[in-house]
Structure 1
Amino acid sequence: MAFYNNKVITTLSSAVLMAACSLGLATTANAAPAKANVSKSAPIFYGDGGEYPFSSAVRVGDTLYMSGQIGTKDGKLVRGGVKAETKQALDNINSVLLQYGYQKSDIVKCMAMLKDMDDFGDFNEVYKTELAKPYPVRSAFGVADLAINSSVEIECMAAK
């Protein structure tokens, strides 16, 4: 008799499980489709880079991604080495920020590329005077060469 009761219980359990699954499938089929979490803000590309194939900045939502800046003024590399170039590159970054409605305090990440890592101290000296605490997160890389023989290139991202 115990065998018969176990078989009945197993059969009934399977039937109840199948009915519950069928009900769940029927309910799911009639439910409204889930909405994907889609950004309402498509990328906006600013500037065309002039003769070069890049934008000066791209905004996605409230984040502004800027192209790297070197220490040029009026189309020429400033004189004075890494300190002067760093100051000018950060001035150029500030100009891009202001042009698109951001400010230095909106910067959240920077990447610095230095042609000579021995210039790291001089670079940091200027960087600290141009940006305020809390400083953005940052990476620094030693590179073999930079455009127009510059000593430093800085790329930043800003968010509101």
Structure 2
Amino acid sequence: MGKEIIRSSEAPEPIGPYSQAVKVKDTLYVSGQIALDADTGELINENITEETHAVMKNLEAVLRAADLCFDHVVKCSIFVRNMDDFATVNEAYGRYFKTNPPARETVEVSRLPKNVNVEISCIAVA
């Protein structure tokens, strides 16, 4: 199969038995990222905009570790604790996909790891 584990020291360490990302051939599967600061382990969650940007920066760090960027992303999954935050999350998220945004879904969930408000995963193709 040729499975390669991708790790970035610029993104938070996994908080469970999973990898930050797994690459198979030209496809990278990035695990859900939350707004943890990779250096301090502290949550960045003063407001939903700041939290979403922190999540996107963590995704970017993992993509970069695989020599990819947001232009390579073909699919995202967004999980939010409150769909009332959708417009704010969408605005922050959209700043990372200026042209040809990926496919995606946004789902409201009752709870996320460490009680964060947003978690995002993605799939990218080289």
Same fold (TM over 0.5): yes
- The 5 A counterparts of 1:1-150 are 42-47=2-7, 52-73=16-37, 74-150=40-116
The count of aligned residue pairs is 119
User: Can you list the C-alpha shifts for 1:26-81, whole angstroms capped at 9, x where unaligned?
Assistant: xxxxxxxxxxxxxxx5211234x555200111001100001000111131111322
2:41 and 2:99 mapped to 1: Cα distance? 31
The answer (yes or no) to whether the contact 1:56–1:67 under 8 Å persists in 2 is yes
1:131 and 1:82 mapped to 2: Cα distance? 18
Q: CA deviation at 1:129?
A: 1.3
Would you tell me which structure has more helix in proportion to its own residues?
1
2:101 alignment partner AA: Y
In the superposition, the TM-score normalised over structure 1's length comes to 0.70
2:30 and 2:96 mapped to 1: Cα distance? 17
The answer (yes or no) to whether the contact 2:74–2:124 under 8 Å persists in 1 is yes
2:113 and 2:14 mapped to 1: Cα distance? 15
Whose Rg is larger?
A: 1
Q: CA deviation at 1:128?
A: 1.2
Q: Percent identity?
A: 34
Q: CA deviation at 1:107?
A: 0.6
Would you tell me which structure has more strand in proportion to its own residues?
2
Q: Which runs of 4+ in 1 moved over 4 A?
A: none
Q: Quote the RMSD (CA, aligned, Å).
A: 1.4
More relative contact order in 1 or in 2 (CA 8 Å, sep 6+)?
2
The answer (yes or no) to whether the contact 1:45–1:58 under 8 Å persists in 2 is yes
For structure 2, the 5+ residue unaligned runs are: 8-12
Structure 1 residues 108 and 51: alpha-carbon distance in aligned structure 2, compared to 1, 3 A threshold: closer
In the superposition, the TM-score normalised over structure 2's length comes to 0.88
